Amino acid sequence: MKTRTLAVGLLLAACALASDNTRAVLKPGTLAEPWLTGGPNCLSVPDWQVHEYNDDFYILRESGCINAEKPFLYLIFGEDKALLEDTGVAYDTPDHTVIPTAPFIMDLLAKWAKRKNHAPVSLVVIHSHSHGDHTAADPQFKALPNVQFVAATPEEIQKASGIKTWPTDLGQIDLGKRIIDIIPIPGHDVASIALYDRVTGNLMTGDSLYPGRLYVPEAQIGTYAASAKRMVDFVNAHPVAHVLGTHIEQGSQSYFDYPRGTKYQPKEHVLELSRAHVFELNEAFVKMNGKPVKMVYPDFAVVPRVANTTMPADVQAGDGMGLQPGVLPTGWRTGGPNCLTIPDWQIKEYNEDFYILRQSGCINPEKPFLYLIIGDQKALLEDTGVGTLMPDGTRGTVIPTAPVIMDILAKWAARKKHAPVSLIVIHSHGHNDHTAADPQFQALPNVQFIAAKPDEIQKAAGIAKWPTDIGHIDLGGRVVDVIPFPGHQEASIALYDRLTGNLMTGDSLYPGLLTVEDLPVFTASAQRLADFASEHPVAHVLGTHIEQKALPYLDFGRGTIYQRDEAPLELTRAHVFELNAAFISLHGTMNVVAMPDFTLVPRGTPDTAYPASLRPPAAKPN
């Protein structure tokens, strides 16, 4: 398997954009997890945590033991200058003491220069916005030499970055062989901005988009909405590796945030959001339609500050939406490096009634995922797996699949002291890497087998009109919605489990290469799925493969058995809107469209999303 680096030119070409940066390559980095918050023992929490995304991009977090806001700061190095976004928060005490922040930052600059054998660089200080939890140490920096201090006002930002018209134009700050784009996004605050680092593709969105409560004054809803739309326009024209905000208030459970003022957050959300969340933010403001309506989403909430009302000190936007929680499995094994150690099936519990299975890549590089959902009277199995890949490329023996599923059901019944339940078998679509073990289930009693054909699915799920209507399967105290989703294949569907909020999207949306068989049909399906997600709480989006690497815009290529450092299985509700936007951007003409977490490709793409013409030159042997 050859390692491929995605040239940004692919994304630009796919979107029919200017090509002056077609050979640029995003510089990768790593994200910290987990961060310390504010306890439980404050003696063990440092004032500052520093994580190197890479050797020229630092992420800092101020301790929640100082202030429950525990903000993030960003320090980015160029050849001539470094840029610091924000200066932190004061102690949450009557005297509002500010810890030494400028000395800490200057020490980082000195250590960076020494380690890199680089001359000292000057510092530019800018702010995500003007609120006190991001500007408390400003006086410390104003007093220093070789510091360009940009006050958190539209006029000063405009002047420092060369913004012609606020807020519709962009500015830039040149750090020396590193350009930071300044994007005005007022709404949360009059001086709110986003920063885009062209080297890493990281988009820093301040308090305007982060995993938590996005506050907007009632009078500024229209302003914030316009800013959200401009951010969509920006990310449509630029590759975005990660979206990095300035707080974490969200918990790891979807639709749940810690109340304001919480210092210790033991199960908090990760810092990073994705490019997809920019589209979801825009969707939130479209739904608000100018009205002060709270919008609670899996990874953030938009919270209007209504005029002449007082917000509770311990405000909380979401408490889980009543969805049955679960734990997303990690540590999936792929297909090696030693196949003797890889089981045919990996079986993991999301919760006690929802199972996720993965077939070994040593059997077939497709290594598909299956889902088993159990109700009071019936269980539903999505897909039956793939046959063994033979040396000549054909598919041969099908491993025992039905016995594995029936054993899970028997053990479930014994553990729960529940009567045995019957089984329904349905398919995400009709391709044979998802239907290979069908005969095993067709031969069993107490199994309702639904063939992967539109008319059979329509009949079994009570779909009045294919593909525009939705069907349902009642498992007893648990309803699973069946959503026709053709385009990848004529019988493609998505399943929505109302208890957990999990949306299973088959081969139509997963971290990897999404093959488009029928562009107009797939385009219409993506719009219908976006409409569905807009009206239903979606905890996670779960597909049937992983082909994507953990790094944005990179996949392993089809046929890869061993996928070290692969992306996680789960996508988010936000990716449904990103998928829809990708199809809209095609305007009816199929092209390869690469997103950070998935890629649209036409049927017939041989092994990867990245044409040879856009790959970097092969390394020359030493």
Q: Using H for helix, E for strand and C for coil, what is the string for 557-613?
A: CCCCCCCCCECCCEECHHHHHHHHHHHHHHCCCCCCEECCCCEEEECCCCCCCCCHH
pLDDT for the residue 11: 39
pLDDT for the residue 65: 96
pLDDT for the residue 9: 35
Q: Rounded mean pLDDT of 68-88?
A: 98
Q: Is 328 helix (H, G, I), strand (E, B) or coil?
A: coil
Q: Which two tokens stand for residue 300?
A: 């953030």
The dihedrals phi and psi of 333, each to the nearest 5 degrees, come to -95, 150
| C-beta of residue 187 within 8 angstroms of C-beta of residue 174 | no
Q: Rounded mean pLDDT of 377-406?
A: 88
3-state secondary structure 506-558: ECCCCCCEEEECCHHHHHHHHHHHHHHHHHCCCCEEEECCCCEECCCCCECCC
Compare 596 and 610 and report the one with higher pLDDT: 596
Digit-coded pLDDT (tens) for 137-170: 999 999 999 999 999 999 999 999 999 999 999 9
pLDDT for the residue 500: 98
Average pLDDT, the chain: 92
Q: Does position 441 have pLDDT exceeding 90, yes or no?
A: yes
Task: Write down the pTM of the prediction.
Answer: 0.93
Vertex 557: Cα angle to 552 and 562 (nearest 5): 95
Q: Does position 614 have pLDDT exceeding 80, yes or no?
A: no
pLDDT for the residue 92: 86
Q: Does position 16 have pLDDT exceeding 50, yes or no?
A: no
Compare 314 and 13 and report the one with higher pLDDT: 314
Digit-coded pLDDT (tens) for 351-381: 999 999 999 999 999 999 999 999 999 999 9
pLDDT for the residue 613: 34
Which pLDDT band, with edges at 50, 70 and 90, does 200 fall under? very high
Which pLDDT band, with edges at 50, 70 and 90, does 397 fall under? confident
pLDDT for the residue 336: 85
| C-alpha dist (Å) from residue 431 to 359, 366, 386, 488, 544 | 16, 12, 9, 10, 12
Q: Rounded mean pLDDT of 418-423?
A: 98
Q: Which of 378, 92, 99 is nearest to 262 (CA)?
A: 92
By the 10 Å C-beta count (0-12 exposed, 13-18 middle, 19+ buried), 111 is classed as exposed
DSSP 256-278: BBPPTT----TTBPPSEE-HHHH
pLDDT for the residue 354: 98
Q: Rounded mean pLDDT of 260-276?
A: 97
Q: Does position 302 have pLDDT exceeding 50, yes or no?
A: yes
pLDDT for the residue 33: 81
Q: Does position 262 have pLDDT exceeding 50, yes or no?
A: yes
Least confidently predicted of 158-167, 226-235, 450-459, 604-613: 604-613
Which pLDDT band, with edges at 50, 70 and 90, does 557 fall under? confident
pLDDT for the residue 388: 85
Query: Which amino acid makes up residue 583?
Result: F
- Cα-Cα end-to-end distance for the chain: 20
| C-beta of residue 304 within 8 angstroms of C-beta of residue 294 | yes
Q: Is 362 helix (H, G, I), strand (E, B) or coil?
A: coil
| Domains by residue range for the chain, with CATH | 31-305 (3.60.15.10), 339-612 (3.60.15.10)
Portion of the chain with pLDDT greater than 70, in percent: 92
Q: Does position 421 have pLDDT exceeding 70, yes or no?
A: yes
Q: Does position 606 have pLDDT exceeding 80, yes or no?
A: no
Which pLDDT band, with edges at 50, 70 and 90, does 389 fall under? confident
Q: Does position 297 have pLDDT exceeding 60, yes or no?
A: yes
| C-alpha dist (Å) from residue 242 to 467, 473, 597 | 35, 37, 11
Q: Supply the angle between the helices 275-288 and 573-586 in degrees, to the nearest 10.
A: 90
Which pLDDT band, with edges at 50, 70 and 90, does 617 fall under? very low
pLDDT for the residue 95: 87
Q: Does position 20 have pLDDT exceeding 60, yes or no?
A: no
Which pLDDT band, with edges at 50, 70 and 90, does 407 fall under? very high
* Residue ranges with strand state E in 218-368: 242-245, 272-273, 295-296, 301-305, 345-351, 354-359
Q: Does position 590 have pLDDT exceeding 80, yes or no?
A: yes
